[in-house]
Structure 1
Amino acid sequence: MPVFTLAHLSDIHLSPMPRARRRDLFGKRALGYVNWHRGRKFVHRREILDLLTRDLIERKPDHIAVTGDLVNLGLPEEFLRAAEWLHHLGPPSRVTAIPGNHDAYVRLHPEAGTDHWQPFMEANSDGAALMPTPETRFPFVRRFGDVAIVALSSAIPTMPFIAAGKVGEAQRIHVAKVLEELGEQGLFRVLLIHHPPLRDQAGWHRGLRDAAKFTDVLKRHGAELVLHGHNHAQTVHELETATGTAIVVGVPSASEAVEGGVPAARYNEYCIARAGNGWHVEMVGRSVAATPEHVWECERRVLRER
């Protein structure tokens, strides 16, 4: 198998914020609107995102995964702008997206929200042959040669000041079956989820509510690589499973400004190749430097070598 390159970015928080009508600002949206204008708009900057995505596009990875929080307050116009941004990133055949908690900020009819991203959130033909997408849309599978991407949704509407997520029993049952099937076929399984999937990676108010049950699924059925966002931080964890070690990687926000010379906005690129009876996986981190603002290779690390 030739090297397959997969780029991963998350927590886009696309700006600028569209003008909000007074009638749109109720409940959680009103609090988020104030929070955005008081501070978050200075953190999540469009020019930082554009710098990072321009670098990503120029590197031409085989595929791009976006793990949620494309919008901020769940305003209908935000979903339209995010759809335009996804198409700029690449065609649906080369870009996979899943929602995050900000994409489920309030209860919104799908036609006014994530339906605009549907071409990026559905199985390809090879993936559908492995597992038809359930009526709930998630999980879905995309297959590229020996690499299979399994996409989940942990996005649920929550009360103000809560950013928690949940996979739910239906998705856990489906993903257990598909991980088992993909493992038996000897495929490299990449799992996409917005919230950190392991226990104690985030507190109750912003963590994955069923993290313990989801971790049990991973332990029983295995996965080679699990990619998430949400925490706006670069993290790497190892989880021992029935089929070997699963590498769990979180990536920072792709739009976060550099503070105090510390790199913030970042995406990761994974170079995946067979190595004997196992896999070789190298992670290359690409981050925005402070002065002058440019994208540089901030990390190169072998995650799997067998």
Structure 2
Amino acid sequence: SSFLVSIQLSHAKELPRDIILYPSPGNPLVIEEGSNIIEIDLSDNLNYEKVYLVSTSTGKRIFLNFLWSENELEVFSIEGEISDGLYSIRVQLEDGEELDIPGAIWVVPREKGSMRVAFVTDIHLSKGQVSELNGRKFNSLDALSTLVDYLSIEKYDLVISGGDNVDKPGDLGMYLHLLKEIERLSLSGIPFVSAKGNHDSYEYFERVLAPPEFSLSVNNLKIVFLDTREEIGKPSMESLKFLETELNGTEKHKVVVMHHPLFNPWEVRGESDDCPLDKLYWSWNREEAESFLEILKRGGVELVLSGHCHKHSLFKCEGITFLMGTSVASSDRPEGERYSFYELTFSDKGVEIKEIEVPQKLIIIDREDAIIFHNCLEELEGEFFIRNGKDRGEYYNEEYTTIKVQEFTPLGNYIKVEGKIPMGESSLVFPTELGNPRIESVYSYPREPTTGPVEIYFEVSGPVKRVFFRKKELDEISDNLYRLRLESPMRCVNVTLEDVISRKSEFRVCLFEETKENEEGDLDPMIIVSSLVGSLIILLSSLIPSGRKRDL
């Protein structure tokens, strides 16, 4: 199986495009409100009983009746009326199992004014992509989660990714994590589309999201996605023929998205109408660039979006705007760049581009026992969705935040919250059985320090937010592992653990059998930890193993 009824992944044996080739989570089918026919490209090996749509906002089911097959597509009629919004496709198999393709159908009003689109690029999902902002450590999973929350609160119409959605091409776990975030976006009615980056493997990108090249047409906006072929760094001749064909439409706004840029963002900066053909990205030559630009001009392209370099650049070339985006989360960030995304507003006046400093000035960290808000952007008000994990229910501690639970979603897998996120730091706290913060183990390097500098490592558990020594926050090396550096060995030190609602507990850490005098002196490789709020004694049963320090 691949999905449960509540759009919750269970296995990766079957991924979305193993079930339905089109539409898919990264390439939705756009239909107008009131349509009564829908075409779906089902897998040839799929034996199903029925197919229906599920509204991601209301949970309403709309059944589809099979009519005929045409050009490898299954044609269905829509039973009843379908209103605007985002829908998942649900397939019921012959054995009764139900499989979901989240956010695959986008029903749009017949007439829509301006569109507000978010362009994000180079997410590089990986637990190892750890960065720091304003003294707060976060990884690329936190950055993407923050983006989803912010885009939901601000009610964007569409999210475009410039590629490199994951950091390691073969990391299926990160593709599945991305799919869960697409599910959360779909609850707010926001579709997701993506170009393929050089860090996105062909296998998993195509099985989870979309083909490497496709187009999307919605209202007066046409978006064409090109494959720049991993390390080759530019589209093929076949891709350019595909582009020419796709640009034959009459849409007012035409956008091309490709991961590698045409120009070198380190050399081309600022607003300009010049065409710097002497400042191309290394993968292009002048003749290829001139041919590509001619196709763009003939096709009436308004905007070209790229990523890859993690370097911001925005300029015009012969009336075409080129935007090369900075990374939204990668720890490989050029000096001076911000962690940002771009707001693109398409209207009768053209396209307006605005850089939004999220997650640069806003981090929302979802932990098991709390959601922690670090907000230096602006006061926010709206709704977003959080996962319904262990110990999460109707019981929330609302004393420490203006955010509160409003209702459970019809899909049952997430919880809808609504309210204000104030400036500064705040938390939404869940009741858990984790208890108070505590130190589980302590070890030192060198393992038997007598003189000179010493590093002490603490493994903590419980709802710990920060760890302090003498009012200085300690480094978090990895999840729940902290490091304290001392210039010379000390008998005992006092360490303060701060929990998610800012309550503090002080622990006394000693690397020897503590005497009545508690004076400083030589160290012994036995560890004793005692708490002012409760006693905790840990004997160092095994000293730091060989190679442990390298693993840190």
1:263 CA displacement: 5.8
Contact preservation (8 Å) 1:258, 1:265: no
Q: Which moved more, 1:212-221 or 1:248-257?
A: 212-221
Query: Could you tell me which of 123, 128, 146 is aligned with 2:220?
Result: 146
The CA deviation at 1:270 is: 1.1
Which residue identity lines up with residue 294 of structure 1 in the other structure? Answer: N
Q: 1:169 and 2:237 equivalent? A: yes
* Rounded Cα–Cα distance in structure 1 between residues aligned with 2:144 and 2:279: 25
Moved more, 46-55 or 6-15: 46-55
Describe the shift of the 1:171–1:291 C-alpha distance in structure 2 as closer, same or farther (beyond 3 A): closer
User: Which of 235, 241, 258 is equivalent to 1:193?
Assistant: 258
What is the one-letter code of the residue matched to 2:170? L
Aligned twin of 1:294: 375
What CA distance in whole angstroms lies between the structure 1 residues aligned with 2:303 and 2:131?
A: 33
Per-residue CA deviation, residues 116-170 of structure 1 (Å, 9 max, x unaligned), is 333xx3xxxxxxxxxxxxxxx45322111111111112133x4xxxxx4121011
**What do the CA deviations read for 1:261-280 (whole angstroms, capped 9, x no partner)?**
95621111111111xxxx33
Cα distance, 1:196–1:258 mapped onto 2, change above 3 Å: closer
Correspondence for 2:85: none
Query: Among residues 48, 60, 65, which one is paired with 2:143 in the alignment?
Result: 48
> With CA pairs under 8 Å and 6+ residues apart, which has the higher RCO, 1 or 2?
1
Q: Closer, same or farther in 2 for the Cα pair 1:252/1:201, shift >3 Å?
A: farther
Alpha carbons of structure 1 residues 93 and 271: separation in structure 2 relative to 1, 3 Å = closer
Offset at residue 47 of structure 1 (A): 2.7
Structure 2 residue matching 1:226: 3-state secondary structure: strand
Question: Is 1:5 matched up with 2:116?
Answer: yes
2:299 equivalent in structure 1: 221
CA distance in structure 1 between the aligned counterparts of 2:284 and 2:375, rounded to whole angstroms: 34
Look at both structures and tell me which one has the larger radius of gyration over its CA atoms: 2
Q: Equivalent residue for 1:99? A: 196
Superposed CA offset, 1:215-266 (max 9, x none): 34224433011111111122112121xxxx1111111111146989956211
Q: In 2 relative to 1, CA 261–167 (structure 1 residues): closer, same or farther, beyond 3 Å?
A: closer
Distance 1:146 1:219 in 2: 18
2:311, 2:334 within 8 Å by CA — same for their partners in 1? no
Assess, with a 3 A threshold, how the Cα gap between structure 1 residues 258 and 50 changes in structure 2: closer, same or farther.
farther
Task: Give 2:236's aligned amino acid.
Answer: G
User: Where does residue 79 of structure 1 map in the other structure?
Assistant: 175
- Partner residue of 1:252 out of 301, 318, 326: 326
Tell me how far apart the structure 1 counterparts of residues 175 and 362 of structure 2 sit (CA, whole Å): 32
SS in 2 for 1:196: coil
AA aligned opposite 2:156: P
1:53 positional shift = 3.2
Q: State whether structure 2 residue 367 is matched by structure 1 residue 280.
A: no
The TM-score, its normalising length taken from structure 2, stands at: 0.38
| Distance in 2 between residues matched to 1:96 and 1:291, nearest whole Å | 23
**Among 179, 185, 196, which residue is 1:89 paired with?**
185
> AA paired with 1:194?
H
Q: Any conservation in 1 of the 2:260–2:306 contact (CA below 8 Å)?
A: yes
Whether the 8 Å contact between 2:362 and 2:376 is mirrored in structure 1 is no
- Give the Å deviation of 1:208: 5.2
Helix, strand or coil for the counterpart of 2:142?
helix
**Which letter maps to 1:3?**
S
Q: In structure 2, how many angstroms separate the alpha carbons of the residues matched to 1:227 and 1:214?
A: 14
Q: RMSD value over aligned CA atoms?
A: 3.2
Equivalent AA in structure 1 for residue 194 of structure 2: A
2:207 counterpart residue number: 116
The DSSP-based 3-state class of the residue aligned with 1:90 is: helix
Q: 1:152 to 1:190 in 2, by over 3 A?
A: same
Q: 1:208–1:82: structure 2 CA closer, same or farther, 3 Å change rule?
A: farther
Identify if the C-alpha distance between structure 1 residues 153 and 2 changes in structure 2 by more than 3 Å, giving closer, same or farther.
same
Aligned to 1:59: 154
- For residues 8-27 of structure 1, the aligned pairs below 5 Å read 8-17=119-128
CA contact (8 A) 1:69 1:102 kept: yes
- Are 2:311 and 2:325, in contact at CA under 8 Å, matched by a contact in 1? yes
CA–CA separation in structure 2 for the residues paired with 1:259 and 1:248? 20
Residue 71 and residue 148 in structure 1: after superposition, are their counterparts in 2 closer, same or farther (change >3 A)?
A: same
Q: Give the drift of 1:86.
A: 3.0
Q: Alpha carbons of 1:289 and 1:258: their partners in 2 closer, same or farther (altered >3 Å)?
A: farther
CA 1:294/1:256 → structure 2, altered by over 3 Å: closer, same or farther? farther
Q: State the aligned residue count.
A: 233
The letter of the residue matching 1:268 is: Y
- Map of 1:24 onto structure 2: none
User: Per residue, is there more helix in 1 or in 2?
Assistant: 1
Unaligned runs of 5+ in 2: 1-111, 133-138, 264-276, 364-373, 379-552
Within 1, Cα distance between the matches of 2:140 and 2:198? 19
CA distance in 2, matches of 1:166, 1:265: 25
CA distance 1:201–1:155, change in 2 (3 Å): farther
Larger deviation, residues 220-229 vs 257-266: 257-266
Identity %: 22
Q: CA deviation at 1:100?
A: 0.3
Q: Distance in 2 between matches of 1:208 and 1:93?
A: 35
Asked if the contact 1:139–1:152 (Cα under 8 Å) also holds between the matched residues in 2, the reply is yes
Structure 1: gaps spanning 5 or more residues: 18-39, 122-136, 159-163, 298-306
Q: Distance in 2 between matches of 1:260 and 1:10?
A: 15
